[in-house]
């Protein structure tokens, strides 16, 4: 075991898989020589050579398009989109091609690709470096969508994603690349080394896609979150002082509905938190599922705390971000209702 | 028939530790390339996409058929605009280092292109810029305090603190709102120019893109539409050799020039020394005149060098040699224009030093004034309530509700 940052864990996962399997290749903008603008691929080109880790032209449709082609050939491509905000030019390749190739060819061809992308705000990135587009992926039949919240899961989930035979969208909340950010932006950054989930096994291991993690057992209320928000809801829970059960979804599609239902049936209350905009966000899907499956166990309406339905602003970033105060207030209200 | 196993060609830029190799730059001598009539057919000037239009020679003299596009006063105005842009960039970089804002992007070494190009446009024309064309605003004496307020995201920021610093918008100045998504606006410029033609106006659009972003689909879509409808648009490609850490070879610059891409679409193309203010202005005037006379689009590759880091978030020492810039064969645009003017007896070292000092002072005063309206971290900025404005023309009920939830 060693303590890694998210960045190191992600790099380690690719390193382990590139060493084990020469079909694993990775590419994207600034990914090869420089090692990625967030350094996630640093050193991989030196170690595996430029035909396994390389720079691409600035063309997201090209990046995902060649990944689909390589995957069809039999490779295991990991494509990096520099920011999730820049994946839209690739959307057609994802939706019309990667997601449906298996279906439309009745299994003759498939897209065993991973598309990695930093997502989320909290770095003053404004509208083009802050978005959380996960719901645009979960809405598409054929794509899997994974969002880790800590280094241990990031490495295990990425290895599982690389081995997965379907296209996996792998979203990396950039605000927690270097430390477990709990939403208190005015406090000093806490390094990952202080967090137990930075402890990461050496070498190969997987965290299964489709299994949530119960981060904290509790009886009063179930909180569903993923990515950065797992840390934010824990901070909010502490300040409000409720005995909440915190579920880190880790994978949105496929979803660990069993764990969610078990928890909500037990607590009778549910708070859903995500950073993405609210309308048609993944929280809407979760809320609908809970209404369908747990209605008779609910003691209060399901509550969502999310980003506002506006583009992500620059100067007002912390008014946009669903931080511990907003989550805390919602928790209090939910407990009172 | 077998040639052994296949191998993948991956362009290999010069390693960091070695001096840069600019031997494949396709340079021409100053004055060497002809200046065709503006109604020339694309096919007749294919060579101009492979050579390099240059006016200033090694001694700072203006030579050849592309010289003579500027009066002395215009040249001095150009020098002033470039120096002011440079002073602005260094002050804003300083403010970012002092944490008064989150981010900044300089255009050091590329000033001649935007400053020279703007002088070829007229009121009513529209630029669709990238984040590295602040010179378009500065060359028309757009108030720098206004630009600084945007960079500082303060209460006077016309973008209300919404946009990343340097993503200006100034409709009156013919400066379209900058998007952070590369290349998207290239094809919009074509659409804008088509609209000008559809309405029977005589307004010209200028599209801007870096060589790296020419890989995006939107660049190619722009060329197709420009070739089909022949609207009044100048398609600018700023080849500053680098796209963050990626050399221009990764954008396809190893196989052909960027100017030559226009040939497949039958669009006339020029390749121009972007560090030569006289060449920039001459080529810009040529292309803008073509557009204005309904002769259609022109693609211009401006060959230049990104002397500064990509942005304040970037560290170029990780991917290019420190001597890379010094080895750049086309020099510095400010120095070259200065030498030319001195050679003409229209400028002097002393006046140059004085002008720099004046501009530094002007920018310093403006920066103080702008900070008086607040910065990203202190003082006043637009109310958080304003983030719900302009999402739609009329605020729908769900946004009103969310604004209330935020406490407004
Ligand atoms: C669609 C999209 N993809 C990726 C990015 C991230 N990005 C910002 S600038 C840049 C490099 C652009 O290089 P170039 O076009 O050569 O312009 P330069 O910065 O050199 O002026 C990249 C990859 C982006 N902004 N938009």
pLDDT of residue B26: 82
pLDDT at position B1 over 70? no
Q: What is the DSSP letter of A241?
A: T
ipTM given for this complex: 0.92
What is the nearest CA distance from A102 to chain B, expressed in angstroms? 26
For a substitution probing ligand 1, which of B243, B248, B325 has the most ligand atoms within 8 Å of its CB? B243
Confidence bin at B5 (pLDDT 50/70/90) = very high
Q: For residue B65, how far is its CA from the centre of ligand 1 (angstroms)?
A: 35
Cα separation, A113 vs A115, in Å, equals 7
Cα separation, B347 vs B125, in Å, equals 32
Task: With beta carbons less than 8 A apart as the criterion, state whether B213 and B187 touch.
Answer: no
Distance (Å) of CA B108 to CA A263, B99, B211: 58, 21, 16
pLDDT of residue B61: 97
SS3 of residue A24 by DSSP: strand
> Which protein residue's CA is at the shortest distance from atom 12 of ligand 1?
B243
The residue-averaged pLDDT of B328-349 equals: 98
Cβ of A319 within 8 Å of Cβ of B406? The answer is yes
pLDDT of residue B324: 87
Q: For residue B5, how far is its CA from the centre of ligand 1 (angstroms)?
A: 35
Cα separation, A199 vs A177, in Å, equals 15
Cβ of B180 within 8 Å of Cβ of A315? The answer is no
What is the nearest CA distance from B316 to chain A, expressed in angstroms? 9
Distance (Å) of CA B184 to CA A61, A82, A125, B173, B234: 13, 16, 19, 20, 16
Atom of ligand 1 nearest to the CA of A128: 25
Atom of ligand 1 nearest to the CA of B130: 21
pTM of the model: 0.95
Average pLDDT, chain B: 96
Cβ neighbour number for residue B89 with a 10 Å cutoff: 22
Q: Does residue B316 have its Cβ closer than 6 Å to ligand 1?
A: no
Q: Does residue A29 have its Cβ closer than 6 Å to ligand 1?
A: yes
Cα separation, A16 vs A36, in Å, equals 18
**Which residues of chain A does B185 touch, with a Cβ-Cβ cutoff of 8 Å?**
none
Q: Does residue B182 have its Cβ closer than 6 Å to ligand 1?
A: yes
Contacts of A29 (CB under 8 A, 6+ apart): A37, A55, A56, A58, A63, A80, A82, B243, B244, B246
The residue-averaged pLDDT of B291-300 equals: 98
**Which residues of chain B does A125 touch, with a Cβ-Cβ cutoff of 8 Å?**
164
Atom of ligand 1 nearest to the CA of B209: 15
- The percentage of chain B sitting over the pLDDT mark of 90, rounded to a whole number, equals 92
Cβ of A126 within 8 Å of Cβ of B243? The answer is no
Task: With beta carbons less than 8 A apart as the criterion, state whether B114 and B136 touch.
Answer: yes
The reply to whether A319 touches chain B by the CB within 8 Å rule is: yes
Confidence bin at B12 (pLDDT 50/70/90) = confident
pLDDT at position B19 over 90? no
Atom of ligand 1 nearest to the CA of B211: 16
pLDDT of residue B3: 80
The mean pLDDT values, 10 residues at a time, for chain A of 337 residues are 97 98 98 96 98 98 97 97 98 98 96 98 96 98 98 98 98 98 95 97 98 98 98 98 98 98 98 98 98 98 98 97 98 95
Interface test with A, best of B105, B155, B180, B374 (most A CBs within 10 A): B180
For a substitution probing ligand 1, which of A57, A80, A82 has the most ligand atoms within 8 Å of its CB? A82
Q: For residue B243, how far is its CA from the centre of ligand 1 (angstroms)?
A: 6
Can you say whether the dihedral through the CA atoms of B50, B54, B57, B62 is positive or negative? positive
Three-state SS string across chain B, please?
Answer: CCCCCCCCCCCCCCCCCCCCCCCCCCCCCCCCCCCCCCCCCHHHHHHHHCCCECCECCCCCECCCCCCCCCHHHHHHHHHHHHHHHHHHHHHHHHHHCCCCCCCCCCCCCHHHHHHHHCCCCCCCEEECCCCCHHHHHCCCCCHHHHHHHHHCCCCCCCCCCCCCCCCCEHHHCECCCCCCCCHHHHHHHHHHHHHHHCCCCCCEEEEEECHHHHCHHHHHHHHHHHHHCCCEEEEEEECCEECCEEHHHHCCCCCCCHHHHHHHCCCEEEEECCCHHHHHHHHHHHHHHHHCCCCCEEEEEECCCCCCCCCCCCHHHCCCCCHHHHCCCCCHHHHHHHHHHHCCCCCHHHHHHHHHHHHHHHHHHHHHHHHCCCCCCCCCCCHHHHHCCCCCCCCHHHHHHHHHCCC
Q: What is the DSSP letter of A111?
A: -
pLDDT of residue B259: 98
Distance (Å) of CA B332 to CA A180, B124, B304, B329, B336: 45, 31, 9, 9, 6
pLDDT at position B124 over 70? yes
Tens digits of residue pLDDT in B24-50: 888 999 999 999 999 999 999 999 999
Q: Does residue B210 have its Cβ closer than 6 Å to ligand 1?
A: yes
Number of A:B CB contacts under 8 A? 129
Euclidean distance between the first and the last CA atom of chain A, given in angstroms as a whole number: 44
Distance (Å) of CA B291 to CA A315, B123, B189, B233: 40, 15, 13, 6
Q: What angle do CA B89, B95, B101 make, to 5 degrees?
A: 105
Cβ of B162 within 8 Å of Cβ of A279? The answer is no
Q: Does residue B242 have its Cβ closer than 6 Å to ligand 1?
A: yes
> Which protein residue's CA is at the shortest distance from atom 17 of ligand 1?
B210
**Which residues of chain B does A58 touch, with a Cβ-Cβ cutoff of 8 Å?**
182-183, 212-213, 215-216, 243, 246, 251
**Which residues of chain A does B315 touch, with a Cβ-Cβ cutoff of 8 Å?**
none
């Amino acid at each position: 075991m060693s303590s890694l940052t998210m960045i190191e864990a992600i790099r380690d996962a690719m390193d382990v898989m590139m060493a084990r399997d020469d079909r694993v290749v990775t590419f994207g903008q600034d990914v090869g020589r420089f090692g990625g603008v967030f350094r996630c691929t640093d050193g991989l080109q030196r170690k595996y050579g430029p035909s396994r880790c390389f720079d691409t032209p600035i063309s997201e449709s090209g990046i995902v398009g060649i990944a689909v082609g390589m995957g069809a050939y039999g490779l295991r491509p990991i494509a990096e989109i520099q920011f999730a905000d820049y994946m839209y030019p690739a959307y057609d390749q994802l939706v019309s091609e990667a997601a449906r190739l298996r279906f439309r060819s009745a299994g003759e061809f498939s897209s065993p690709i991973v598309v990695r992308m930093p997502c989320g705000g909290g770095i003053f990135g404004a509208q083009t470096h802050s978005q959380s587009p996960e719901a645009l992926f979960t809405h598409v039949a054929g794509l899997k969508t994974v969002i880790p919240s800590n280094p241990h899961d990031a490495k295990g989930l990425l290895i599982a994603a690389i081995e997965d035979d379907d296209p996996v969208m792998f979203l990396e909340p950039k605000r927690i690349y270097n430390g477990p950010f709990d939403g208190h932006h005015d406090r000093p950054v806490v390094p990952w080394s202080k967090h137990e989930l930075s402890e990461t096994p050496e070498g190969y291991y997987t965290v299964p896609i489709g299994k949530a993690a119960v981060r904290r057992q509790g009886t009063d209320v179930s909180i569903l979150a993923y990515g950065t928000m797992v840390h934010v809801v824990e901070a909010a829970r502490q300040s409000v002082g409720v005995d909440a059960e915190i579920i880190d979804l880790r994978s949105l599609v496929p979803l660990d509905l069993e764990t969610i239902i078990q928890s909500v049936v037990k607590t009778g209350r549910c708070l859903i938190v995500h950073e993405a905009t609210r309308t048609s966000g993944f929280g809407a899907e979760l809320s609908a599922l809970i209404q369908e499956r747990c209605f008779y166990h609910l003691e209060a309406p399901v509550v969502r705390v999310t980003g506002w339905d506006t583009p992500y602003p620059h100067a007002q970033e912390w008014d946009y971000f669903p931080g511990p105060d907003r989550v805390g207030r919602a928790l209090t209200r939910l407990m009172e209702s | 028939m077998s040639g052994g196993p296949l191998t993948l060609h991956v362009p290999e830029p010069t390693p960091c530790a070695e001096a840069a190799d600019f031997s494949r730059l396709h340079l021409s001598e100053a004055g060497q390339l002809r200046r065709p009539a503006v109604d020339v057919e694309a096919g007749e000037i294919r060579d101009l996409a492979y050579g390099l239009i240059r006016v200033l020679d090694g001694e700072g003299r203006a030579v050849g058929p592309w010289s003579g596009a500027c009066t002395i006063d215009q040249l001095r105005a150009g020098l002033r605009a470039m120096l002011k842009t440079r002073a602005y960039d260094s002050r804003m970089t300083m403010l970012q280092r002092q944490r008064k804002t989150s981010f900044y992007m300089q255009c050091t070494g590329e000033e001649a292109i935007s400053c020279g190009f703007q002088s070829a446009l007229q009121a009513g024309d529209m630029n669709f810029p990238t984040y590295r064309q602040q010179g378009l605003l500065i060359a028309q004496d757009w108030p720098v305090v206004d630009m600084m307020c945007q960079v500082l995201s303060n209460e006077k920021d016309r973008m209300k603190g919404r946009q990343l610093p340097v993503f200006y918008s100034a409709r009156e100045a013919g400066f379209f709102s900058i998007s952070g998504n590369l290349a998207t606006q290239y094809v919009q410029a074509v659409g804008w120019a088509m609209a000008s033609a559809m309405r029977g106006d005589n307004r010209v659009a200028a599209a801007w893109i870096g060589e790296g972003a020419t890989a995006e689909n939107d660049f190619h879509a722009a060329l197709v539409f420009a070739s089909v409808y022949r609207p009044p648009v100048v398609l600018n490609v700023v080849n500053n050799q680098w796209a963050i850490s990626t050399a221009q070879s990764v954008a396809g610059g190893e196989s052909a020039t960027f100017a030559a891409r226009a040939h497949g679409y039958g669009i006339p193309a020029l390749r121009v020394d972007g560090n030569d203010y006289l060449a920039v202005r001459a080529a810009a005037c040529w292309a803008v005149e073509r557009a204005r006379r309904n002769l259609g689009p022109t693609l211009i590759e401006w060959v230049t060098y990104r002397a500064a880091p990509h942005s304040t978030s970037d560290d170029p020492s990780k991917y290019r040699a420190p001597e890379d810039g010094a080895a750049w064969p086309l020099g510095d645009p400010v120095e070259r224009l200065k030498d030319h003017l001195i050679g003409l007896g229209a400028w002097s070292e002393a006046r140059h030093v004085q002008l720099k000092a004046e501009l530094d002072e002007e920018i310093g005063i403006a920066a103080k004034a702008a900070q008086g309206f607040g910065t990203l971290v202190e003082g006043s900025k637009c109310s958080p309530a304003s983030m719900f404005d302009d999402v739609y023309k009329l605020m729908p009920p769900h946004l009103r509700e969310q604004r209330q939830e935020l406490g407004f």
